[in-house]
Structure 1
């Protein structure tokens, strides 16, 4: 054997360990996902093969510190010490590898995905993320397990590392050439591996399983901003305008006043006298239809919300636009489709936008955003503060008035008490109020004050859902006692569901959420079974107030715009979707498109599929261009 080989061989034991741990992680995620279909050999084998390619590329970089150690260490000195240093360095890299593996299971439990741009975003909010993990998981046993696994693997690596370090090595020049060749090989392998390979597997969870967490993280770090025009299917601008004009231009309540950057701008003509009512909109953390008995969900978890649904307008076919709170806030506030990449509240130049609060502010309401956590999270303070809202968060609550808090925020009952206090103060001054209230209790670690409900705090999501329902009931009971109650509309709508995992990128049923509009004496009870999207909430709410305004919303008034076709918009990371005319359209990077017939529709009707595809592209292209135009304007102003 060439005497130069042992120094490169210092990385070999760790390299093998990396591939073994990565493969076991992949198999573990398949088990954790609990989908028997993933175990079919003809499906699992390609995922394992592709995954090995990603693992190989990452392993080359993960082992680079040992290659550099062998390059730097003098050829003829302290070989025993080299073995000790190599073992300590390998142990540290093993610990990091096992920590990443465990973190992937934690992340998968929340998002049913390998690391993505959410993981990148969460690096900014280490307080909340680390706090959530500390409060949600038994970290002592978890870290003890990581340490034990590291020690076992390090013990297995000790002998080959010691034997390799004891052998002779070439001079510095030869070592430098070998190290340079190793780095060149790592660069070549990395350049030859494509993140898009795994997309050929089709099934979304299989695609995720095939990935490598470290690879996916750095890919997200590089590509978490997506240029729609560059990567997604587009149409000629004239075609986009024609499609959107056709959709909105024939509605009886609209008078189009289009602009180059906003083809759907229109004047909304109310059908009745203006109603100067307070509005309280509660967006509820992670409350999917799976928890609402009357929507086919679990029994007995939301009795107060079910009661409000019977007493108000119950929207039974409401669908969220995304899988994160920031997407829900985007849809409810801006009424825009969920364009790829970051939600608008997380982007630069996101102030001065056309918002629900801005419309009401311009017509005499004071708009409030009231949050139970710290509003710097997900850029809430900047976004709402820059768009006409007064932002109020947990810092406005005295410590003695907090019954319970965790890393995400105060208990929902304390949040609602804060909302009542803020509305009381403004009502006393004769002001009309629009208050957007965002809850947090139905979020891991699912803790809340003891003794409120019959499920112990911290025992799981069912308890958190039932507690939030209790807090909502307590809130409306207290609101009934206020002098402003008789001239207030309450809206209760989820921000997203609890999980978006399914057999397709955008499983429609996983975006189904409840919405209730409740105002005794002001809004007649009814069941609204029309298909509706979160982006329809703002125009529907303004329609209840019979306001005349110029709209830039992409949504429709579900109660009054029967002559505007219903549409849904959904997004999951880089895939965005549109539902219309009985078809579900999916748009992906590299201009990939897919049209799926919904239940009850016959497949193969090309004309209908073509129309649905063009409508979906038109909506997303117009929304993306709207914000890219703002970016260009901002850059021009900066010059």
Structure 2
């Protein structure tokens, strides 16, 4: 067998590359088996998936091994095999092997959660290490995981050793020609992948799973790291700006609307009887609450008995969709009432203070506006966004402070107020109890209040106080959903005894679904979320197709308020409301109107589909230029207004 083993100074690079390519191939095959009922097994698609994967694995290797190739190429002959050479080589071999084995494990857990290779979510998680590390510790048996990674690393090293890889590496001095060839090859390939190859080129298939599996996780991570903010006009198809605004203004027009500024704006005045007294509003954004979890939407596991009962006593939106796949997208949608902008959410972007938000409407009516979060609001830039847009902050801060330009107050939730806490924050009951205490003080002050609550319990590791429900803590998302449902019941039980309850409207809505990935470009069914407006004086089931961005314009319509608006959302209950919703990933942007969907891609491409809700399939249609222009206009103008500071 030894005659087949690598020879010479570069033996270690050859063995390392071979191991990496085999491990990556096996992981790719494992993902295909994992999604066996979703991927395309057509022989051409299968071969292209694997071959594209190998191509991107080679690019990844060029970056990983470039420092080693340069080291082996430039080290003088007299130092080859010295203690210096051996220490450097063994140390970095063990380190890189350990990191890569750990990365392969991380890819598996990431796929389990998001059904995608590393993307901008992984980049974000790298920033917020406290929450992520704590979540990993609480979700997985960390000693076993690290021990397993170490064992695999040692096993690979022992195989290299028995193959004679290290002996050959330390006992051979390459010629100048071989040194230049090795270093030059890695440099050329690395440059090629840096300037000529993009991660988007792995997305060759109409089946999203085949495209994702074609990618290399590490390469995808660094691609997302470089491109997590995207200028609309550089990446997406566009139309004349004046024409785009004219179309959007026409879509936003209604008998009670009057535009009050120049044509490249959507600022308008919404007129109404304005006879409704200022009611308090408690707004609850629930973590990862897919519609499919509720009995009201067909679930038969009986994990949402309270919300199912609320559906019969509220304005229940049966056909409402989230704009995105992350909490910050939900926050962006409900506070700014805007379609999703490409790249990062506005919540996480610079220059996002003093925007015209729903808090601006409440503030004009002298409401006390507050944001409640059970974790550290530093995560995902929440404190900066809400604090910079007029909210008082209540969070479980761990020393992080608001920047000097934020003119608001921040209150820390103390240990005495906490009965249960995990990686993401305090349990839903605790954050609800905190809000109730603040609401009591607000009522005594005589000011109406708008209290915005972000929950955390329905999130991995799915842990919550024991003895509350019949599903053990930490076992499943179903248990987390049932606990959240239980906590909501307790909130309403306690709130109903308060003197301010009769004059308070509660809004419950999800931030996004538990999982939004599927085989198509955008899995539209996995954007379907529940929403309820409770205590508003009317009960009805709303079957109208609508969006997260419509929830506050609908609430303001129920109140009969006259207000200024920079919102893309409209009152769903108003006559003439056009059914549609917006949804997207950080790179794909969709406009859906009933069963037709236009999806814009960041390579200035677009696809038009018929959406079969029964099968959740997207069936290609001939391009509809009018529909395309409308889709472009909405997203182009939304991006324009933010980037040109016209939402200030």
TM-score range, shorter chain: over 0.9
Tell me if the contact between 1:452 and 1:470 (Cα under 8 Å) persists in the aligned partners.
yes
Task: Indicate the residue corresponding to 1:446 in structure 2.
Answer: 462
Cα gap change, 1:186 to 1:438, in 2 (>3 Å) = same
Task: Indicate the residue corresponding to 1:615 in structure 2.
Answer: 630
1:368 CA drift (Å): 0.8
1:399 CA drift (Å): 1.5
TM-score, structure 1 length as denominator?
0.93
> 1:436-493, CA deviations, whole angstroms, 9 ceiling, x for partnerless residues?
1110000000001000000011011000000000000000010011000010000110
Match of 1:314 among 313, 316, 323: 316
TM-score, structure 2 length as denominator?
0.92
Task: For 2:273 and 2:577, locate their aligned partners in 1 and report how far apart those are by CA, in whole Å.
Answer: 16
- 1:444 is paired with a residue of what secondary structure? coil
- 2:325 is paired with a residue of what secondary structure? coil
Task: Indicate the residue corresponding to 1:630 in structure 2.
Answer: 645
Tell me if the contact between 1:345 and 1:379 (Cα under 8 Å) persists in the aligned partners.
yes
Between stretches 158-167 and 14-23, larger displacement belongs to 158-167
Task: For 1:364 and 1:572, locate their aligned partners in 2 and report how far apart those are by CA, in whole Å.
Answer: 36
Match of 1:471 among 481, 487, 490: 487
Cα gap change, 1:573 to 1:604, in 2 (>3 Å) = closer
Task: Indicate the residue corresponding to 1:373 in structure 2.
Answer: 375
1:179 CA drift (Å): 5.5
- 2:164 is paired with a residue of what secondary structure? helix
Task: Indicate the residue corresponding to 1:360 in structure 2.
Answer: 362
Cα gap change, 1:261 to 1:78, in 2 (>3 Å) = same
Task: For 1:166 and 1:407, locate their aligned partners in 2 and report how far apart those are by CA, in whole Å.
Answer: 47
Tell me if the contact between 2:66 and 2:183 (Cα under 8 Å) persists in the aligned partners.
no
Match of 2:414 among 370, 373, 398: 398
How do 1:296-445 residues align onto structure 2 when only pairs under 5 Å count? Answer: 296-395=298-397, 396-445=412-461
Cα gap change, 1:555 to 1:150, in 2 (>3 Å) = same
Tell me if the contact between 1:13 and 1:160 (Cα under 8 Å) persists in the aligned partners.
no
How do 1:534-549 residues align onto structure 2 when only pairs under 5 Å count? Answer: 534-549=548-563
- 1:201 is paired with a residue of what secondary structure? coil
Task: For 2:79 and 2:160, locate their aligned partners in 1 and report how far apart those are by CA, in whole Å.
Answer: 22
> 1:236-272, CA deviations, whole angstroms, 9 ceiling, x for partnerless residues?
12221221132123x122122243441x222111245
- 1:392 is paired with a residue of what secondary structure? strand
Cα gap change, 1:160 to 1:517, in 2 (>3 Å) = same
How do 1:542-557 residues align onto structure 2 when only pairs under 5 Å count? Answer: 542-557=556-571
How do 1:74-153 residues align onto structure 2 when only pairs under 5 Å count? Answer: 74-77=76-79, 79=81, 81=83, 82=85, 85-153=88-156
Tell me if the contact between 2:607 and 2:620 (Cα under 8 Å) persists in the aligned partners.
no
Cα gap change, 1:36 to 1:556, in 2 (>3 Å) = closer
Task: Indicate the residue corresponding to 2:400 in structure 1.
Answer: none
Tell me if the contact between 1:340 and 1:576 (Cα under 8 Å) persists in the aligned partners.
yes
1:60 CA drift (Å): 2.0
Cα gap change, 1:53 to 1:252, in 2 (>3 Å) = same
Task: Indicate the residue corresponding to 2:590 in structure 1.
Answer: 577
1:435 CA drift (Å): 0.6
Cα gap change, 1:168 to 1:374, in 2 (>3 Å) = closer
1:162 CA drift (Å): 2.8
Cα gap change, 1:303 to 1:51, in 2 (>3 Å) = same
Tell me if the contact between 2:367 and 2:449 (Cα under 8 Å) persists in the aligned partners.
yes
Match of 1:244 among 236, 241, 248: 248
1:33 CA drift (Å): 3.2
Tell me if the contact between 2:39 and 2:210 (Cα under 8 Å) persists in the aligned partners.
no
Task: Indicate the residue corresponding to 1:462 in structure 2.
Answer: 478
Task: For 1:605 and 1:203, locate their aligned partners in 2 and report how far apart those are by CA, in whole Å.
Answer: 16
How do 1:29-44 residues align onto structure 2 when only pairs under 5 Å count? Answer: 29-35=31-37, 37-44=39-46
Tell me if the contact between 1:15 and 1:60 (Cα under 8 Å) persists in the aligned partners.
no
1:164 CA drift (Å): 1.6
Tell me if the contact between 1:335 and 1:554 (Cα under 8 Å) persists in the aligned partners.
yes
- 1:345 is paired with a residue of what secondary structure? helix
Cα gap change, 1:550 to 1:192, in 2 (>3 Å) = closer
How do 1:98-247 residues align onto structure 2 when only pairs under 5 Å count? Answer: 98-158=101-161, 159-170=163-174, 177-178=180-181, 180-190=183-193, 191-247=195-251
Tell me if the contact between 2:610 and 2:621 (Cα under 8 Å) persists in the aligned partners.
no
Task: For 1:405 and 1:106, locate their aligned partners in 2 and report how far apart those are by CA, in whole Å.
Answer: 23
2:570 is the counterpart of 1:566? no
Cα gap change, 1:78 to 1:197, in 2 (>3 Å) = closer
Between stretches 435-444 and 84-93, larger displacement belongs to 84-93
Cα gap change, 1:425 to 1:48, in 2 (>3 Å) = same
Task: Indicate the residue corresponding to 2:73 in structure 1.
Answer: 71
1:581 CA drift (Å): 5.8
- For structure 1, which runs of at least 5 residues remain unmatched after alignment? 635-639
1:178 CA drift (Å): 4.6
Tell me if the contact between 2:290 and 2:512 (Cα under 8 Å) persists in the aligned partners.
yes
Tell me if the contact between 1:87 and 1:161 (Cα under 8 Å) persists in the aligned partners.
no
Cα gap change, 1:78 to 1:532, in 2 (>3 Å) = closer
Structure 1 or 2: more helix by fraction: 1
Task: For 1:301 and 1:247, locate their aligned partners in 2 and report how far apart those are by CA, in whole Å.
Answer: 39
Task: For 2:38 and 2:377, locate their aligned partners in 1 and report how far apart those are by CA, in whole Å.
Answer: 41
Between stretches 137-146 and 308-317, larger displacement belongs to 137-146
Task: For 1:605 and 1:132, locate their aligned partners in 2 and report how far apart those are by CA, in whole Å.
Answer: 43
Task: For 1:237 and 1:36, locate their aligned partners in 2 and report how far apart those are by CA, in whole Å.
Answer: 40
Task: Indicate the residue corresponding to 1:637 in structure 2.
Answer: none
Cα gap change, 1:295 to 1:425, in 2 (>3 Å) = same
1:182 CA drift (Å): 3.6
Task: For 2:135 and 2:613, locate their aligned partners in 1 and report how far apart those are by CA, in whole Å.
Answer: 43
- 1:447 is paired with a residue of what secondary structure? coil
1:188 CA drift (Å): 4.2
Task: For 2:143 and 2:45, locate their aligned partners in 1 and report how far apart those are by CA, in whole Å.
Answer: 37
Tell me if the contact between 2:9 and 2:170 (Cα under 8 Å) persists in the aligned partners.
no
Between stretches 276-285 and 71-80, larger displacement belongs to 71-80
Between stretches 322-331 and 5-14, larger displacement belongs to 5-14
Tell me if the contact between 1:505 and 1:572 (Cα under 8 Å) persists in the aligned partners.
no
Task: Indicate the residue corresponding to 2:505 in structure 1.
Answer: 489
